[in-house]
Structures are given as structure tokens and as C-alpha cells.
Amino acid sequence: MNNTGKKILTLGIVIAIAIAGILAFYPTIVAPPTDVAVNNLHKSSIKANINGFSDVENTTFNDSIYNVVVDKLAMYKSEGFMSEEEIDYQTKALVQKYLPIFTKLSNAKFRASTWRESDHKAMLERIAHLRTLKVDYGETSAMAGSYESDLRRIEQIISNYKDAKKVATYSTFYSVSDANKKIQDAEKYRTMDPLSNCTELTNKLAAVKSNIGNSHYYQVESKVNEMANYRNMTEEAFNSLMSVTNSKIREYDNNRSKYGYNAKTTESLEQKAAEYYRNAKEFFTRKEINITTNY
């Protein structure tokens, strides 16, 4: 074979090798990248957030993580990133993980000696939002069954606290039956679990009986002091006032034990009333003598 033939053969071999190399790498060059499992990324993101809930006692109720999870669920649903079945599954996972922690943190607040209404407000707002969560294609509340019972218990405690705060303000005597009812209510809330943990509330409730008792005493005292004005009364009017005053003193004495160990006694009031009575009788006797003498 002459030189020209050898050159042609060599060139052919080189070209063949080059073409083979191109064909070997062609799929790698032109093939599109494998699709990223976006749906799995969404699931992983939600799952990681839900697992991030903490039951460590603090001033919040995992607010930031909770808001992230519910916002993601709403977005993934509206954008079609997750199916209805997947949204249902993740919503149930949220409730199953978060509600026991929320209940535990709420109960921790109720066990404290100091209660904050800002905590109660946060609890009620969270409960209201939890009740908006739906499953089964939006047909069923995610809070059904025992979950709802837990929420209602928290609501009831807060409602009892509000009622107890109102009772704790009672301080005026209106009647024996009214006083006894208010004192009984104060004692009921003072010993009620878990309200009895709140030091400020229980102290105010404990003071209700003495506050009402003092009000009752001062009303009786005021009636006794009216007797000092006997000079400007007729004897008949004074006798009527004396009768009413004695009745009010007896009423207070009969109810005094309900007002606590330090309730005021009426001994000084009785002495003062007796003194007014003697002075009034002397006054009316002299007045009658003067009238008779003038005739």
C-alpha cells in the first residue's frame, strides 16, 4: 500500500473514533435534567415545621411555627402544590402534634400563681383559629372529639376566671340574702381548681366577706347616728327610728359570723344607741313638761 493509501486509512480510523466518542457522550449533553420532586419538598418542609413544635414552658404558644405551618397549608392548597388528601393528612398531623402541646402550655399558665389576661387572650385566639381547620375536603372540623373537649375546658377555665373577677369586686351590703349569696360565690371560686392557684384573685375573693361585712356594719352605724338628731324629730318618729335601728343591729349580729373572724362587733353601737335613747327621752319629757306648764 502506498503512502497515500495509508494516510487515507489512518484518517478514516480517526474520524470513526471521533464519531463514536460524540455518539457516546450525546445523551449526556442533550438529555434534560431529571425533574425535582417538588411535592416531596413541600411535604418535607411542612413535616419539619410540625416536628419543630416545643412543649417548653414560655410566654408564647409556638406562635411563629404555628403561623408558618397554617400559612404553608393555605398556600400549598391554593397553589395546588398539594392534593386535598395531602392537605388533610398534614392538617391532622398538625393537630395531633400541636394540640397536646398547646394544652400542656395552657395548663402550665393555669398552674402559675400569677395569671395574665394577655395569656388568656392568646389562648382564646388560638382556639378560635384551631376551630377553622377542616379535614375531609373541608367537611369536618379537625377539632372533633377529645380535641374539642380539651379546648372547651380551657375556655371554661377562662370564663370562670372572668366570673370570679366580677365576684371579687363585691363589697356593698344590700340585704342578708344578697350578702350570703355573694359570699358563697366568692368562696366557691376561691377554692375552685385551678383558679385557686391565682394568688391575686384568691386574695380578693377571700376579702369579699369582710368587705360586705364592713359595708353592713357602716350602714347600721349610720342608722345609729341618725338618732343623734332626736331634737328635730317628734317622739313618735324617734321611737320608730329606734325600733328600726335595734332591728338592724340584731340583723347584723345574726349574720356577723358570715363576715369572718375579724368582723366588727356592735357593742359600741348599742352603747351609743342607748345613750341617744336616754337623751331623747329626757328631751321629750322636758318638752312635754314645758308644754303642760304653759297651759
pLDDT tens digits in sequence order for the chain, 295 residues long: 555 555 555 545 545 555 555 455 444 444 444 444 555 688 888 888 888 888 776 657 888 889 999 999 999 888 888 888 999 999 999 999 999 999 999 999 999 999 999 999 999 999 999 999 998 888 888 887 888 999 999 999 999 999 999 999 999 999 999 999 999 999 999 999 999 999 999 999 999 999 999 999 999 999 999 999 999 999 999 999 999 999 999 999 999 999 999 999 999 999 999 999 999 999 999 877 665 565 5
Termini Cα distance of the chain: 181
Residue among 131, 142, 216, 207 at smallest CA distance from 169:
207
Kindly report the pTM of this predicted structure: 0.80
59-86 as b/e: b if 16+ CB within 10 A:
eebbeebbebbbebbeebbeeebbeeeb
Tell me the β-bridge partners of 140: 135
Count of CB atoms situated within 10 Å of the CB of 173: 22
Rounded Cα–Cα distance for residues 59 and 253 (Å): 49
Can you list the alpha helix ranges (DSSP code H) found in the chain? 3-30, 38-50, 63-78, 84-111, 117-130, 146-167, 176-190, 199-206, 208-226, 235-255, 267-294
Residue among 53, 160, 56 at smallest CA distance from 108:
56
